[in-house]
Amino acid sequence: MTSLSQQLLRRKPAPIEGVEDSHLKRSIGLFALTMIGIGGTIGTGIFYVLSGAVPIAGPAVVWSFVIGGAVAGVTALCYAELAGSVPVSGSTYSYAYTTLGEAPAMGVAACLLLEYGVSTAGVAVGWSQYVNQLLFNLFGFRIPEALSNAPEQGGIINLPAVIVIVLCGLLLLRGAGESAKANAVMVIIKIAVLLFFVAVALTGWNADHFANFAPAGFQGIVAAAGLIFFSFIGLDAVSTAGGEAKNPKRNLPLAILFALLVVVVMYVAVAISAVGAQEPGKFENQSAGLAAILEAIIGSSWPGTVVAAGAVISIFSVTLVTLYGQTRILFAMSRDGMLPPVFSRVDRRTLAPAANTMIVTAVIAVIAALVPINFLLEMTSIGTLVAFLVVSVAVIILRRRQPNLERGFTLPLHPLIPILSILGCIWIITQLRPITIIVFVVWTAVVLVFYWFYGRTHSVLGGAAAQPADVPFTSTVVQPKDGDR
């Protein structure tokens, strides 16, 4: 009889190349994967969060983005190695299951439910702000506050947030390939709009805006970094597509690294140009901030209208990617027996988890309708940070346990880089509000209780014969095709 500790820490073996662990369709190539990374990252973080981060850090918010990018960067390298070593759906959950064990993987799943589910609601709430700005610029009216704000903010329901989530859910029901193509188009548009913002904002440059560079000191810089860190979630989103990526050992690591480069450059460029164009004191509680900055510079509404339209498209793209990531993580958990089978049922025509998508869409739409954005963003940040931390630990463990495992990308300077990632994540977590950490701990405990009563007894791995950790999965073999590049 298996001891309790062995039961809680049983590990899934790492898969080998050519072995597929699901019935999802491999339809996403390198370019589309990179676009998923960029699409899931560039969005609310740069279009909305400056209004919350600049009042905390002042002009030094630029360094907040650099710090967030540095921590995300070393973690992205860890993700690249794991994505090339364990190319399956489920992202950090699957990595933790392979390296740390079943119970720790469920703890990570709690983080991912915050990282994806809550962030989807958060970016949808941010989307509604830009929809109102765009409607006002084009037609001279706004959606009433009662229908565009959460109850805590004086409204009844955030209807635009519900609409964007439902639209993304409907698109995902058409299949991952179709969704990835739509996302790629939206990402190209959003990059063009941000480059437009930088070009116009630089015409209003005023070096005096940087005079009181860090009014709250280094503490303020780090606190702002904690607030905006959720906006690096897209780097993780690439790895959720492991079960649908073409040639995953090669393409997943490359897509993560390409997305990181584009994201960090764009974030820093927009932050510098925004502060250079507008006094730091004007950022506080400024809805549709980037659009308002351009309107002040030009003295006309048309540049702000362009940015508002770009933000509507951009944040739609983020919502699509994070909703996609949530459904694929739940799919992986259900496939392993950690959740009911309904979450892993695949539609025969689209090869997408249809019931899963509809359930997730409905639940997140309710959250977006009723919960204010600031709380959503902080909860997303801590979920993302803990998930990043686990990835870094998993790289070290997998290197030690399976040094000969074929890797699509090998992390340089091991173990220095994962250690730096771990320290960076812990550092930023300590800067979050105590209430955020308390809620996170309570939520994780709830998920682990669910695991104890359901997942532990329904685990597919627990029902199978015990096998060594270095034996690959025994499932359908799918040979890569020449075009899967």
In a domain, 415, yes or no: yes
In a domain, 412, yes or no: yes
Rounded to whole angstroms, how far apart are CA atoms 87 and 257? 16
Rounded mean pLDDT, 219-238: 76
pLDDT reading at 358 higher than 90: yes
What backbone phi and psi angles, to 5 degrees, belong to 477? -95, 125
* HSE (side-chain half, CA atoms, 13 Å) at 172: 28
Is the N-terminal amide bond of 353 cis, ω within 30° of 0?
no
DSSP state at residue 194: H
In a domain, 467, yes or no: no
Rounded to whole angstroms, how far apart are CA atoms 200 and 209? 17
The pLDDT tens digits for 317-355 are 888 888 888 888 898 899 889 999 999 888 888 778 889
Q: Which two tokens stand for residue 87?
A: 């190319």
Q: What is the pLDDT of residue 52?
A: 77
Helix (H, G, I), strand (E, B) or coil at 186: helix
DSSP state at residue 99: H
Rounded to whole angstroms, how far apart are CA atoms 222 and 220? 5
What backbone phi and psi angles, to 5 degrees, belong to 465? -65, 140
Rounded to whole angstroms, how far apart are CA atoms 293 and 278? 6
Cβ burial, residue 143 (10 Å; 0-12/13-18/19+): middle
- Report the amino acid identity of residue 25: K
In a domain, 21, yes or no: no
Angstrom CA distances, 456 to 158, 394, 448, stand at: 38, 22, 10
Q: Which domain holds residue 358?
A: 30-456
CATH of the domain at 183: 1.20.1740.10
Name the band, by pLDDT with cuts 50, 70 and 90, for residue 17. Answer: very low
CB 19 within 8 A of CB 249: no
* HSE (side-chain half, CA atoms, 13 Å) at 213: 7
The pLDDT tens digits for 112-130 are 887 788 778 877 877 777 7
DSSP state at residue 402: -
Name the band, by pLDDT with cuts 50, 70 and 90, for residue 45. Answer: low
Helix (H, G, I), strand (E, B) or coil at 395: helix
Q: What is the pLDDT of residue 166?
A: 93
CB 460 within 8 A of CB 5: no
In a domain, 482, yes or no: no
Q: What is the pLDDT of residue 362?
A: 93
CB 30 within 8 A of CB 255: yes
CB 314 within 8 A of CB 193: yes
CA 33 remoteness from chain centre: 14
The pLDDT tens digits for 260-311 are 889 888 888 988 998 888 888 777 766 556 777 777 777 777 877 887 788 7
Q: Which one, of 315, 263, 350, lies nearest residue 25 by Cα?
A: 350
**Please, which residues bridge with residue 245 across strands?**
28
Q: What is the pLDDT of residue 251?
A: 83
CB 129 within 8 A of CB 276: no
What backbone phi and psi angles, to 5 degrees, belong to 22? -155, 180
Q: Which one, of 105, 90, 61, 345, lies nearest residue 239 by Cα?
A: 90
The pLDDT tens digits for 84-118 are 777 666 678 888 888 888 888 898 888 888 778 87
Q: What percent of the chain has pLDDT over 70?
A: 86
What would the DSSP string read from start to end of 237-267? HHHHTTTTBSSHHHHHHHHHHHHHHHHHHHH
Q: What is the pLDDT of residue 340?
A: 92
In a domain, 154, yes or no: yes
In a domain, 5, yes or no: no
Helix (H, G, I), strand (E, B) or coil at 280: helix
Q: How crowded is residue 78: how many other Cβ atoms within 10 Å of its Cβ?
A: 27
In a domain, 193, yes or no: yes
Rounded mean pLDDT, 147-173: 83
First to last CA, the chain: 46
Q: Which two tokens stand for residue 297?
A: 């510079």
Rounded to whole angstroms, how far apart are CA atoms 245 and 232? 21
pLDDT reading at 449 higher than 90: yes
Q: Report the domain count for the chain.
A: 1
- Report the amino acid identity of residue 42: I
CB 321 within 8 A of CB 237: yes
